[in-house]
Chain A
């Protein structure tokens, strides 16, 4: 059943992209929360660029980067036009959103609590694991969900870098595009409906997490005052 196949492929793509982004986005966000210097400015600009570029341009750049004339050849041979390429395209486009959500979540953690852990004998990683992650877990989860939602909906960069090959690199968005091009509107509507349901659920959970994080912070600052 084709509907199920494209949906599963989109879910897989988005899931792999989200998991792949998690650790790098966490490190970038950790750096941006702690630092305000020139390096942070440039880093922020670099990871945010996909927000400002047309996704089609991002796909074009990826095609060059991982292509036969790009810097990663021959390591990246055969990568373009695969489901991995779909995940990479999704990850790059979603990355700035995830970083921004992480920065917001990590910003709620009092740096003195992190220092307290260091002072009690914890190394940097240990303090991250024991203090930052538990206290920012809702912000982190919200960021990952946002990344998932954006990856699930990704179209422009994907179609350039991974193509639109039915049964191979055709996810939900490109399938909708193909149906519209072919004039098959009822199929297109059906696929769009699936997108709405899955995206809506993920977004609802995300919004709930953000609200919970905010409430916890308000409650905590209230009890201290």
Chain B
């Protein structure tokens, strides 16, 4: 991979804070890279080091080949020069400034020649134009995180550092914010480092994941491998894995996702409206033949890309237009003889789909 030769983020650092020691290295390319691990693994400490919030004891951090910290070269750039925007778990919006002034704060501090993202357009995109004159303490959790995201993105950063930005939200809002994150990435092409202890979020967003455990790097590789690892090692800490899709409501009341139509309860959403559809991996069934008489409204043709069987769970990755992650039992994998390139039907009920705006 050519990108690996010139990583967006390249680090190798060590820091000791009281009883805790972090020793981590990584080379992240464009795209969204997750930093995954249980709480206390050192994820947030790593992010704090990358953002310049704390100084590592030794090692180096480079963005786009530019050294911002190096203990051997004695480089320690001030954090305001990094141009890496951080989004905190609880937003950390300035409580004494309106939403508008929060968002404009970093934009105004960005040199004019580096401003490529217009705050107005960004606010429309994140659907927060209606909140601009409000103060942060009047916002809901989801609104607050969208504003925090907008504040960071408005600086046209070369990297977004996301520290569990949805961990304090309920599942509906979580999907909504995760969907916005993905769309921001697609629209503006900003690389992201996404810290999370939720496999579901990581699955929905990232292609690669760095797994931290007790301050050390346990693994680094494609997220699909991470699922396999989770399936084979432990059930603890695994929450439901959600498939997230951005689509539009069609005239017929279905949701158009890429080339396929998905039947769902669209409620008050209007034709043409952009929505995020989420469906849990455990709510999807697979069949080898097309079932004739079945209540499930969604029957999609697909091909198995990959199967991971572990001691506690099994996962199949099926390409059916968009990719679906399907959780099943190892018995089912055996009975259906699921493996790569097997043609299957993907089945799910319309009521299994949760729709959120955006």
Q: Which residues of A come within 8 Å of B, CB atoms?
A: 110, 112-113, 115-124, 126, 130-131, 134-135, 220, 223-224
Contact = CB atoms under 8 A, between A and B. Distances in A.
A118 B79 contact: yes
Given A120-B105, A120-B151, A121-B80, A113 B137 contact: no
Given A112-B88, A220-B137, A223-B137, A119 B82 contact: yes
B109 A113 contact: no
Nearest to A219: B137
Given A112-B88, A120-B155, A121-B155, A134 B96 contact: yes
A212 to B, nearest CB: 14
Nearest to A223: B137
B80 A113 contact: no
Contacts of B189: none
A162 to B, nearest CB: 41
11 contacts: A112-B88, A113-B94, A115-B51, A117-B94, A119-B79, A119-B82, A120-B152, A120-B155, A121-B83, A121-B110, A123-B80
B78 interface: yes
Given A120-B109, A126-B80, 4 more contacts: A112-B92, A118-B80, A122-B80, A135-B96
Contacts of A112: 53, 88, 92
A67 to B, nearest CB: 43
B78 A123 contact: yes
Interface string B49-86: 00111000000000000000000000000111011111
Contacts of B80: 118-123, 126
Residue among B83, B85, B94 having the largest count of chain A Cβ atoms under 10 Å: B94
B213 interface: no
Contacts of B86: 115-116, 119
Interface in B256-280: none
Contacts of A120: 80, 85, 105-106, 109, 151-152, 155
Contacts of A126: 80, 109
Contacts of B152: 120
B92 A113 contact: yes
Interface string B82-105: 111110101010111000000001
| Chief secondary structure at chain A's binding surface | helix
A130 B152 CA distance: 17
Interface in B126-150: 137
A80 B200 CA distance: 73
A117 B96 CA distance: 13
B157 to A, nearest CB: 9
B99 to A, nearest CB: 14
Contacts of B90: 224
Contacts of A113: 92, 94-95
Contacts of A117: 94, 105
Residue among B84, B86, B95, B155 having the largest count of chain A Cβ atoms under 10 Å: B95
A116 B92 CA distance: 7
Nearest to A127: B80
A200 to B, nearest CB: 31
A119 B94 contact: no
Contacts of A115: 51, 53, 79, 86
B7 to A, nearest CB: 21
B100 to A, nearest CB: 15
A33 to B, nearest CB: 16
Contacts of A224: 90
Contacts of B105: 117, 120, 122, 130
A129 to B, nearest CB: 12
B357 to A, nearest CB: 24
A220 B109 CA distance: 27
B109 to A, nearest CB: 3
A121 to B, nearest CB: 3
A118 B105 CA distance: 11
Contacts of B137: 220, 223
A92 B80 CA distance: 36
A125 to B, nearest CB: 11
A118 B92 CA distance: 12
Q: Which 10 pairs, one residue from A and one from B, show the smallest C-beta to C-beta distance? A: A120-B106, A121-B109, A116-B92, A118-B79, A119-B86, A134-B96, A121-B80, A115-B53, A223-B137, A118-B80
Contacts of B83: 121
A135 B155 contact: no
B115 to A, nearest CB: 11
B83 to A, nearest CB: 8
A122 B96 CA distance: 17
Contacts of A116: 86, 88, 92, 94
Contacts of B79: 115, 118-119
